[in-house]
Structure 1
Amino acid sequence: MPAQQLPLPDLPLPQLLRQLDFDRLARYREHLAFYLGQHWSGRPRRGERRLTFNYARAVVDKVTGYLLAGANIQVVGDETPAGLARARAAERALRAVEAANALGQLDYETELDCAVLGDGAYRVAWDARAQEVRVSAPDVQGLFAWRDAAQPGRLDAIAHRYRVGEDEFIEYWTAERFELWHGSELTERLPNPYGFIPYVVFPNLREPKQPWGASDIPPLVEVNRELNRAFSQLSQVLELSGNPIAVLEGVTASEGIAVEPGAVWELPEEARAYLLDLLQGGGVALHATYIELLYRVLHDLGESPRTAFGHNPQGLSGVALNTELDPIARKVERKRRIRTAAYERRAWMVLQLLARFEGLEVEGLRPVMQWGPVLPADRSRQVQDARLLVDGGIVSRRTAAAALGVEDPEAEAARVREERSG
């Protein structure tokens, strides 16, 4: 799908949006419905049992939990005393914005939504009434993007459609102007007060030549449905075996035959009665074997080994455990490459707004995303390695602390100095 062109000036924006992205929005609805457990289609047949085990949701939640482990933003600048002081001040300002907007929780919810739908977004704006930066995560089902054809990740314009009560609003942003629509009426048009489009739109996983991202749900759909069918069939077999079916041979009429405890039947000569054994011939074992195969397919397609869910009968540890968990680590790393640019862009926007409205000095400063290890690690070995790197002049103490998962290395270092001086 090619990148969209900018809206035509003679076509009202609300009317234009109603003609865009039907396929993308339909995919969002399908993926969300499946994540919420709507796995069966059509009405059940009479007597049909439909069990739903939402493994797709479990896999998506698990991968998302791994993704954000140890995530934090640092600010770097020149190595002069003044540059370091400005970087520390900018970091403290970022931490205050993170706390005020509860970004830890917001990021997890957004990443979960992004994994399900295939795309995620953040909005960074200045709240004039509260005199602070507001970071929110708009629903991507209401976003429409116009992109640079040569660089699909770069936004030329964005429209954000949302509802407040019964009223529909649309915000339209370019780097030069801002428009606000209420229903079908343009109520505001003014220069962009920020100088940049205050949205970060990013894909869950990239598909070649596609401007929008790929969801984690589609690879799991068929195998999850087949698991539901297999479990439903096995459940019905076991129930019927616990309430066995009576088979009568050589009987032409059913008068006087009552199915109840202690009942005595009088059968014609040469007729016979017996219970139908649905478990004979290893039928249950065959079902169980098939379900185990489906489990393997599910974990392979979801890139989430059963070990990631705590299944470790061999007691693996160290290198062997990391090798077992390698598929989920690779998937998380692919996502982190995309998220690094998105979160650094968001932090840059926050700093620009603080500079514009609060006078924060940000010239020459650059946000840098830091990630913690994906897989279980030997903490003492990590500390030892970090110490060797610092002593060897390879990395700074701040970088080493960030790699060890310290969210605010500068504040932690200040506390250490305070304890030592005390």
Structure 2
Amino acid sequence: MGVISRARAVVIDAWSWLNYKPVFADPRGMPHRRAFPEAKATWVPPDDERRLAAYKLLQAYDNNQAAELSEVLDGPEAREKREFGDPSMFVDAILAHVLGREQHITVPGADTTLPSRRADADTQAAERVQTLLRDWADTELLAMRVQQTERKAVALGDGVYQLAWDPAKQRATVRATDPGFYFPVLPEDGDGEFPDRVHFAWELPEDPRRGLKPRLRRITYELGPIGPATAAGVDEAGRAVRAVRTVEDADGQLVPVVGQGDVVDPASGTVSRMYAWNDTPSTVTCYLTDATWNLEDLKGPVDVDALPLDKATFATRSDGEVLDHLDLLIDFIPVVHVPNTVPPAEEHWGQSSLAKVLQVFDELASSDTDSARASATTGLPMVAISGVHDGRTQMDVGPGSLFKLGDNGKLTAVDTSPALRELREHVKDLKDRAANNARLPAVALGTTDPSKAPSGYALQLSLGPLDSLIASMRLARDHKYQLLLKFVQRLHLAGQHPDWTGVRVQPAKLVFGPYTPTDKQAVLEQVTIGVEKGVLSKETAITMLMEAGFPIDDVAEELKRIDNRSFEAARALADALGNPEEVARFLNRQAPDEPEVPPVVLPLAGGDEDLEDDPAEAAGEGGGNTT
């Protein structure tokens, strides 16, 4: 029993791959307090302590600061370890392959209209939404937001987008948020993918110049039943709050007022609302609260989900709305969590791309440190001297040095370069092992010359592990970006932007570009032969060229340019149809006007020319025979 009681608790969770580090997991499996004081804050839920500590540790590896955290337990000598940026290089390489060379917003049904055909209503709707989303993405710098969030996701395991409608800018805004600020209230049953309440919380330091004490700020999104309409007001303590709007009824009693367009069910008293993107009324809305507390006011066992609202100070938006359970007039939480990997069943969090190889990076740092020490003795060799006349115990060795030795004197140089070569080979082996375990071939890391590959087929086989890695990571992201673009459309409809009037929400996707090297010449030959032989359509050929990296922005526009110069195909079309207007539409030109054909005048018989001058005679009035 004594042996069992002294055994260390084994903790297996989403971050147990870090249990090997004593600074992360003590005998109880909890992070060290001095190394991770943020995770030990009183308002942090116990279930989130290991997650926040893992984020900080992974960020330290990414910034070459892992030795600083190790110093807490290992002492000052831990800082002597060399960190040469290998974890950061792995993160950058994986990020580049996941995102591809470019990203495009596509709506199914758009970019499929031939120039010679009229688009139907569904196609026009898809093309309109695709154009609006692409214009919004350019204005909102979506590509940069994606880079910011995805780097967090690859390095830390999770990324978070926060969306909002900006009344001043008249568009939906999207922001990349550090996952360390993200505290979803996950349900006890279910997979927890879509929580009903989400907090963003962080501490604000003391500001003596402004007279501000240490504070805690929390932004909360919460789904709840639609309630009465509210307006900005002030409570008895002078705080800005929201108060229920009331009116007097026929009896002089104050009764709550519902929002414009809301309907109250007389039987149940529930309030329903018709949203622009729903076919049936909904009884749910999203409430926003932005509050700040002084840390000294938080007493007792409170966490981020149970902070006392009576001690909070609520923020006020630029348009004067107090953010105290403000009804956002939407039926969804505008937050999108992006896991780096497909979460296990009934789990919410992803896993960092460094998780499986973190111990290899520790070994690599130790080997780099040993190599640095060995290189010092190689550059300044150790020399042993015996039989010196002057009997000095310490002598300087340098160019031009002269030593007078006795009869049996010796000078011996110790060559440490073989040990340095072994250390460098060991470092190379560790890097190869890390690349293999992370499923990053050397050619994907740029450490191998692709021209030395025996064949293109062999090169493609070497990229097999990378293909499966990127396919799995993109699978974890595919639905999340569809959700983000759906939220963007709904926010524009809720904000009643004039350009979005009459728009129906479409299933848009964010498509990542190719990540492997492409032989453009080979692709060009394939599509040329395929179109000539009639086994590939021009639309498919143009799509293949776009995926290969050719500078083509729009399939329909490129097809239109090609057809404008396809005179041989137009001649064949004219021979087949005999319709000039159809050929003109194929060439995107105006058909020429056909000249009027003059009437045919037959010549008359001899002697009849005089009849033309006498109409009566021509009509046979003179009794003559005009036949």
TM bucket (normalised to shorter chain) is: 0.7 to 0.9
Instruction: Tell me which amino acid in the other structure corresponds to 2:481.
Output: Y
Matched, 1:177 2:204: no
1:417, 1:361 → 2: CA distance? 33
Instruction: Tell me which amino acid in the other structure corresponds to 2:341.
Output: L
Residue in 1 that maps onto 2:192: 152
Residues 184 and 198, structure 2, Cα contact 8 Å, conserved in 1: yes
Residue in 1 that maps onto 2:516: 375
Query: For structure 1, which segment, 282-291 or 33-42, has the greater mean C-alpha deviation from structure 2 after superposition?
Result: 282-291
Counterpart pick for 1:323 among 452, 457, 461: 461
Q: Any idea what SS the aligned residue of 1:37 has?
A: coil
Matched, 1:56 2:96: no
Aligned ranges 1:109-258 → 2 under 5 Å: 109-148=148-187, 149-161=189-201, 168-175=216-223, 176-184=285-293, 185=312, 187=314, 188-209=324-345, 210-248=347-385, 255=392, 257-258=394-395
Residues 339 and 350, structure 2, Cα contact 8 Å, conserved in 1: yes
Cα offsets for 1:382-408 (capped at 9, x unmatched):
564596699668987897687566565
Residue in 2 that maps onto 1:67: 98
Residues 171 and 180, structure 1, Cα contact 8 Å, conserved in 2: yes
Instruction: Tell me which amino acid in the other structure corresponds to 1:377.
Output: T
Cα offsets for 1:155-199 (capped at 9, x unmatched):
322112257896653221123331323213163113332221101
Closer, same or farther: CA 328–256 of 1 in aligned 2, 3 Å: closer
Residue in 2 that maps onto 1:86: 125
Counterpart pick for 2:472 among 295, 316, 334: 334
The offset of 1:246, in angstroms, is 2.7
Residues 539 and 559, structure 2, Cα contact 8 Å, conserved in 1: no
The offset of 1:373, in angstroms, is 3.1
Q: Any idea what SS the aligned residue of 1:60 has?
A: helix
2:178, 2:81 → 1: CA distance? 32
Q: Any idea what SS the aligned residue of 2:177 has?
A: coil
* Identity over aligned pairs, percent: 20
The offset of 1:245, in angstroms, is 1.9
Structure 2 unaligned runs (5+)?
Answer: 1-12, 15-40, 113-118, 208-214, 224-284, 294-311, 315-323, 566-586, 590-627
Matched, 1:353 2:491: yes
| RMSD of aligned alpha carbons | 3.7
2:137, 2:184 → 1: CA distance? 26
Q: Which of the pair has the greater relative contact order for Cα pairs under 8 Å at 6+ separation?
A: 1
Instruction: Determine which structure has more spread, i.e. the larger CA radius of gyration.
Output: 2
The offset of 1:82, in angstroms, is 1.1
Residues 49 and 232, structure 1, Cα contact 8 Å, conserved in 2: yes
Q: Any idea what SS the aligned residue of 2:84 has?
A: coil
1:373, 1:160 → 2: CA distance? 35
Cα offsets for 1:101-156 (capped at 9, x unmatched):
11112212211111111101112211011111111111111111123532332232
Closer, same or farther: CA 314–255 of 1 in aligned 2, 3 Å: closer
Closer, same or farther: CA 178–408 of 1 in aligned 2, 3 Å: farther
1:417, 1:124 → 2: CA distance? 42
Closer, same or farther: CA 57–23 of 1 in aligned 2, 3 Å: same
Which protein is richer in helix relative to its size?
1
Residue in 2 that maps onto 1:30: 57
Query: For structure 1, which segment, 86-95 or 199-208, has the greater mean C-alpha deviation from structure 2 after superposition?
Result: 199-208
Q: Any idea what SS the aligned residue of 1:125 has?
A: strand
Matched, 1:366 2:507: yes
Closer, same or farther: CA 164–45 of 1 in aligned 2, 3 Å: closer
Residues 401 and 409, structure 1, Cα contact 8 Å, conserved in 2: no
Residues 98 and 104, structure 1, Cα contact 8 Å, conserved in 2: yes
Q: Any idea what SS the aligned residue of 1:153 has?
A: coil
Q: Any idea what SS the aligned residue of 2:160 has?
A: strand
Cα offsets for 1:292-327 (capped at 9, x unmatched):
321221111221111113313623553221111222
Residue in 2 that maps onto 1:287: 423
Residue in 1 that maps onto 2:607: none
Residues 286 and 332, structure 2, Cα contact 8 Å, conserved in 1: no
Closer, same or farther: CA 360–62 of 1 in aligned 2, 3 Å: farther
Residues 560 and 588, structure 2, Cα contact 8 Å, conserved in 1: no
User: How does the TM-score come out when normalised to structure 1?
Assistant: 0.82
Cα offsets for 1:53-106 (capped at 9, x unmatched):
221111110111111124322113699711111111101110111001111122
Instruction: Tell me which amino acid in the other structure corresponds to 2:49.
Output: F
Q: Any idea what SS the aligned residue of 1:72 has?
A: strand
Query: For structure 1, which segment, 99-108 or 385-394, has the greater mean C-alpha deviation from structure 2 after superposition?
Result: 385-394
2:534, 2:493 → 1: CA distance? 33
Number of residues paired by the alignment?
A: 406
Residue in 1 that maps onto 2:280: none
Residues 161 and 337, structure 2, Cα contact 8 Å, conserved in 1: yes
Query: For structure 1, which segment, 396-405 or 213-222, has the greater mean C-alpha deviation from structure 2 after superposition?
Result: 396-405
Instruction: Tell me which amino acid in the other structure corresponds to 2:84.
Output: F
1:146, 1:410 → 2: CA distance? 46
